[in-house]
Amino acid sequence: MTSAATGAGRYAPSPSGDLHFGNLRTAVLAWLFARQTGRRFLMRVEDIDTQRSSRESARRQLADLAALGIEWDGDVIYQSDLFDTYRAAIASLPHYECYCSRKDIQRASSAPHVAPGSYPGTCRDLSEVERASRRAELAAAGRVPALRLRAAATEWTVQDFYAGSYTGVVDDFILRRGGNADQGRDYAYNLAVVLDDGAAGVDQVVRGDDLLSSAPRQAYLAHVLGYPESSYVHVPLVLNADGARLAKRDGAVTLRQMLADASVTDVVTRLAESVGCPGVTTLDGLLGDFDPATLPREPWVWVG
């Protein structure tokens, strides 16, 4: 890999529970890619969902990462501290109110002329009279409309280290979700992640390959906001023995549970094996031995 004296990589966990092996593997890979290319490595806590996130969970996650030997540059960034930034960004972007319910969207997006998973623009061209009526209906129910980007593109192409050139759909995606009027801060992931990366100078995004389809939307928004194009590295996930993605909600084994019967060295050794470096027992050793070209391209299967 080439050196990048400027720029940064990052890891951005969601603090809704302790980190499991799949989370840790992605964190290690993000750290390796950043350090091997001379980038800073930043840590961001994605606690934009304040109902599911907690500072205590974030504290435990950061302690677990440090216990493995992952270190980062600068202070930890918390999305929950940045709502004013998100609000200001939306005001600067071309956007419109959306009054659709989930059922409305599911029904409209199933039409044959609509790209799978994309919003068909139902509320894009409503008249002011129609908007006033729909807005009043929501207000009577104590709710506010969602805000959507008024996109000027229908697709965008990104460059990924493993997937190569990847073109995906760009639609009028959500910037702020609708909901109860007393919330009004339910900012969307696609908005927050782009703003956070751009403000921090992140130009290398390493994450699970289940998020590859999100990259074109995010890259397009970064373009609209005037941020430089990022390089993407989408890595294979960790699956359980049944072939399903490891997930906190399904009881995936966490680092703290693993350490009840194993040492940190044991865990690091297993992480190293999973990224193609069997026998390596420390992150410093892994930094010297890891070759991105030898990372297994199939998902890693976790067997308890």
- Name the binding residues for ATP: 248
Known binding-site residues for L-glutamate equal 10-14, 46, 189, 207
Known binding-site residues for Zn(2+) equal 98, 100, 119, 123
Q: Distance between CA atoms of 148 and 175, rounded to whole angstroms?
A: 5
Q: Using an 8 Å Cβ cutoff, are 41 and 73 in contact?
A: yes
What string of DSSP letters covers 153-213? -SEEEEEETTTEEEEEE----EEE--EETTT---B-HHHHHHHHHHHHTB-EEEEEGGGGG
Known binding-site residues equal 10-14, 46, 98, 100, 119, 123, 189, 207, 248
Q: Distance between CA atoms of 107 and 109, rounded to whole angstroms?
A: 6
146-149 and 95-98 as β-strands: parallel, antiparallel, unpaired?
Answer: antiparallel
Neighbouring C-alpha atoms within 13 Å toward the C-beta of 7: 20
Q: Distance between CA atoms of 168 and 201, rounded to whole angstroms?
A: 24
Question: With helix as H, strand as E and coil as C, how does 23-36 read?
Answer: HHHHHHHHHHHHHH
CB-based burial of residue 123 (10 Å sphere; 0-12 exposed, 13-18 middle, 19+ buried)?
buried
Which is it for the CA torsion 21, 25, 31, 36, positive or negative?
A: positive
